[in-house]
């Protein structure tokens, strides 16, 4: 048995309703990878919990089997019904009412290990390890992480780089939000001892539903690169920061894609692009999953004797915990 939700378009979901707050129903659906889905109440026709939940519309608090139909929510814990609207709250732990826990940051952590093949600076294969954490409140989202990659081909290093990232963004009110981010590290295969991109600007939620989102970003940035060769002048350039972030739940897989373009103000022909797209293809109710993906690192004006595009193909095992 499980909680059930029927959408206004006839879609039927079976899983676990985590909570309802601020006009959004959050539900984990095993058939969709057990990832928490956010569904607007306006698109919910009816629902029913399999075990007791706490419900309220700001007045009486009732605990029991909760069900909704015809725009009203009832509970076996009392006779009073509530409207299925923005004021409705449903939660499982009686000590964690959404309105009272809204200011608490909820953290999710992820560790991963992958094997990869590369083409670009030099050919090769190797491994990559990473750690990321995401903290969410009603008002904002924090992302932080670090990733190290090492690959060799014969006696040549095809990849030896590290990226440490941090980003902060306000959660969208309607469409617009603001963000800041930093990406710092090194890339020894490209003879870069230190690199950093620091940016801030505005974001725009172009599309969102219960299965994913599309965000665009535009801001100002500063790009720094220090090279291991003493004859190569270091880079320090005020720049523009442009980005697209796309996530989509496909049922059989989850798609994640991110693209960042950083063109220089000083030279329009000098720009830096980072891209990664992955499919989460093997998922279960547990914390382990498997991703298949591709990442690209492009510099329009690389160092002498280096190619512009460095591409990595990876198979990544991830472990997620909260």
Q: What is the mean pLDDT of each run of 10 residues along the chain (322 residues)?
A: 89 91 87 76 93 89 93 92 91 77 81 81 77 90 94 72 95 89 92 95 90 93 93 92 93 90 89 94 77 92 85 90 81
d(CA 17, CA 53): 9
Instruction: Classify residue 209 by its DSSP letter.
Output: E
Q: What is the pTM of this model?
A: 0.73
pLDDT at residue 304, rounded to an integer: 83
Query: What was the pLDDT predicted at 36?
Result: 76
Residue 64, beta-bridge partner list = 53
Q: On the CB side of 57, how many CA atoms lie within 13 Å of its CA?
A: 13
> CA-CA distance, 319 to 109, in Å (whole number)?
8
pLDDT on residue 241: 97
Range list of β-strands (E), 57-99: 62-64, 66-69, 72-75, 78-83, 89-91
Number of helical (H) and strand (E) elements in the chain, helices listed first: 1, 23
* Rounded-to-integer distance, Cα 271 and Cα 300, Å: 6
Q: Which helix (H) or strand (E) holds 268?
A: none
Question: On the CB side of 230, how many CA atoms lie within 13 Å of its CA?
Answer: 0
> For residue 236, what pLDDT is reported?
94
What pLDDT does residue 115 have?
84
In angstroms, the CA 96 to CA 92 distance is 8
Q: Which residues pair with 117 in a beta bridge?
A: 125, 313
Where do you find CATH 2.40.230.20 in the chain? 106-321
* Closest alpha carbon to 317 in 284, 268, 271: 284
**Which phi-psi region, left, alpha or beta, contains residue 300 (left: φ > 0; alpha: ψ -120 to 50)?**
alpha
pLDDT of residue 234: 93
CATH class of 106-321: mainly beta
Q: What does the pLDDT read at residue 83?
A: 92
């Amino acid at each position: 048995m499980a909680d059930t939700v029927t959408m206004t378009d006839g879609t039927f979901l079976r899983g676990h309703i985590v909570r309802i707050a601020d006009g959004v129903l959050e539900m984990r659906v095993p058939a969709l990878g057990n990832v928490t889905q956010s569904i607007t109440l306006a698109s919910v026709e009816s629902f029913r919990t399999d075990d007791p939940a706490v419900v309220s519309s700001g007045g009486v608090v009732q605990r029991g089997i909760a069900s909704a139909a015809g725009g009203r929510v009832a509970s076996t814990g009392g006779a009073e019904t509530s409207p299925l609207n923005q004021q409705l709250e449903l939660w499982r732990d009686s000590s964690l009412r959404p309105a009272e826990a809204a200011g608490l940051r909820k953290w999710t952590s992820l560790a991963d290990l992958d094997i990869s093949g590369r083409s670009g600076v030099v050919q090769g294969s190797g491994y990559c390890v990473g750690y990321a954490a995401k903290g969410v409140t009603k008002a904002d989202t924090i992302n932080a992480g670090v990733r190290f990659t090492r690959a060799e081909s014969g006696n040549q290093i095809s990849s030896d780089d590290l990226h440490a990232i941090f980003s902060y963004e306000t959660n969208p009110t309607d469409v617009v939000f603001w963000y800041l981010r930093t990406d710092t590290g090194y890339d020894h295969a490209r003879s870069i001892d230190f690199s950093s991109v620091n940016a801030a600007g505005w974001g725009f939620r172009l599309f969102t539903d219960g299965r994913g989102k599309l965000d665009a970003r535009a801001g100002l940035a500063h790009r720094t690169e220090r090279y291991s060769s003493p004859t190569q002048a270091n880079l320090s350039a005020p720049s523009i920061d442009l980005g697209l972030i796309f996530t989509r739940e496909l049922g059989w897989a989850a798609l994640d894609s991110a693209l960042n373009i950083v063109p220089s103000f000083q030279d329009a022909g000098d720009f830096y692009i980072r891209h990664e797209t992955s499919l989460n293809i093997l998922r279960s109710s547990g914390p382990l999953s498997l991703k298949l993906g591709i990442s690209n690192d492009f510099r329009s004006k690389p160092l002498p004797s280096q190619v512009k595009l460095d591409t990595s193909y990876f198979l990544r095992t991830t472990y997620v915990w909260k």
